[in-house]
Amino acid sequence: MANVVVVGAQWGDEGKGKIVDWLSERADVVVRFQGGHNAGHTLVIDGEVYKLSLLPSGIVRPGKLSVIGNGVVIDPWALADEIEKLAKQGVEITRDNLRIAENATLILPLHRELDGIREAAAGKGKIGTTGRGIGPAYEDKVGRRAIRVYDLKNLDTLGGKIERMLAHHNALRRGLDVESVSADEMHRQLACIGPKILPYMDTVWDLLDQKRRAGKRILFEGAQGVMLDIDHGTYPFVTSSNTVAAQAASGSGVGPSALNYVLGIAKAYTTRVGAGPFPSELHDQTGERIGERGHEFGTVTGRKRRCGWFDAVMVRQAIKTAGINGVALTKLDVLDGFDEIKVCVGYELDGERIDKLPAGQVAQARVVPILETFEGWQETTAGARSWNDLPAQAVKYVRHVEELIECPVDLLSTSPEREDTILMRDPFAD
C-alpha cells in the first residue's frame, strides 16, 4: 500500500491539519516525525474544534494509531496537558491509539527557560522563537547529552546523564546571570512526569516495520514548512529541525523506500509568523484584509501572521528540495472578491532577476518581488466540492499556479470543513 508524507510548502500554517485529518480517515497509522509543540494544527470536525500541538492529527479519529517518532522533541508536561484537554473533549487516549518513540528527546524546563532567556537577550538579533525550548533540546540531542523517553524508565541510573547535561547548562546559566539547576530538582521533575508518558512508549521503528509488512497505510505528518527547514529554509529564521519530506524516514525509523508520495500544502496566498525575510509581504490594507478573512493567528502562539501574495518562486523551491509530488492548495476562498490578485513570479536582487531565494541572510533581506497581476473573481469559492462549483477565474488562477510552481495541484481546499475539498489525484493510490 502507498504511504504518504505531508509537509508544508511555505513557512508553516498552511492548513496541514485539515488535509492530514482528511487523509487520516483512509490511513491506518499517522506519524509525527519532527518538531515539537511549537507547531500547531487546528481541526474542525462536525463543528468541534480540536487544537493539537504534539499529538498527530489522527488521534481524533477512532481506530487510527497515532505515533510520535524519534525525530520529535517532546515536552512531556505539554504532552500530558494536551492528552488531558482532548480527554475533556471526549477523545480517549490509550496505548491502543498512541505510541511514543523510546528514543525521542525530551524537552525539560531548563530548555524552556534557556530559550526565553537567550531570545530576550538577543535584542535586534531575535529570530522569533516560540520560547518553548525546541532549539535548546535539539542542541542537547546533537551534543549527545539529551535525556530521552526511555531514560524515564531508568531514573536510578540517570545520575551521570543529568550531571553531563547540567555541566553544560549551568555554565550557560552562570554566564547569563541565572541561577543554576540542581541535579536533585531535575531528578524530581523527571520522576513526577515519567508515569504519565511511559505507558505510551514503544520501539517505533519496529512497530512501523510491522505495520508496513502487514500492508497498513501510513501517513507521515510534518510540522512547520519547508522554508523553515534548518538546512533549506531562510536561515537563521528557521526552526531547529529538518522539515523536508526526507526527515519522515530518519525521524520515524523507516527507510526512504517507505515514502511513496509527498504532498505539499500551500495556501493560495502566503503567510509567515515571526521575523525573517518575506519578499511578497503586504504592508497595506490588502494584507490586512487577507489576514482578517483568513483568521491569520498562530494556533500555538496566537501571534498575528504576516500576509502577502502567493510566492510561486518560494513554493517551487520548496517543491524541489522536499521532493513534493503534488500540492494541496488551501484557503482559496480567502481570495474571493478581490478585483485583482498578484503572484510573485520572480525576484530582483541588486538589479538582477533571479529565480530562487538566495542562501545568504543579507541577500534574502534585499530581495524585491516581481509581481504578476491576475484578474480576480467576485463569485464565492467557499464550500466548493468540484471544479464545476468554482468560478472560471478561480480555475484559471489554480491552473496558472500549477504552471508557475511546476507541480500539479492534487487537492484544493475551500473552507476549514474537511468535506469542502476537491480531489484531483488520490495520494494513497499506489
The residues annotated as belonging to the active site are 13, 41
Alpha carbon distance 205, 209 (integer Å)? 6
Q: SS3 of 277, please? A: coil
Between strands 41-45 and 48-52, the pairing is antiparallel
Chain center to CA of 293: 22
Other C-beta atoms lying within 10 Å of the C-beta of residue 389: 16
Cell 522569533: give the residue: 128
Could you count the other beta carbons within 10 Å of the beta carbon of residue 172? 15
Classify the C-alpha dihedral 259-300-72-56 as positive or negative.
negative
Question: Could you tell me if 245 and 262 are in contact, meaning their C-beta atoms sit under 8 angstroms apart?
Answer: yes
Burial readout 186-223 (b: 16 or more C-beta within 10 A, e: otherwise)? beebbeebbebbeebbbebbebbeebbeeeebbbbbbb
CA distance 117 to 57: 32
- Half-sphere exposure of residue 186, counting CA atoms within 13 Å on the CB side? 27
Joined grid coordinates for residue 268: 493560495
Distance (Å) of CA 265 to CA 205, 255, 373, 396 = 26, 23, 23, 19
- Joined grid coordinates for residue 33: 516525525
Beta strand pairing call for 368-375 and 340-349? antiparallel
Q: Could you give the count of Cα atoms lying within 13 Å of 92 in the half-sphere of its Cβ?
A: 5
Question: Which residues make Cβ contacts (< 8 Å) with residue 334, sequence separation at least 6?
Answer: 267, 268, 269, 290, 293, 294
Residues 296 and 305: beta-carbon distance below 8 Å: yes
Distance between CA atoms of residues 92 and 77, nearest Å: 18
Nearest in space to 119 (alpha carbons), one of 135, 105, 108, 104: 135
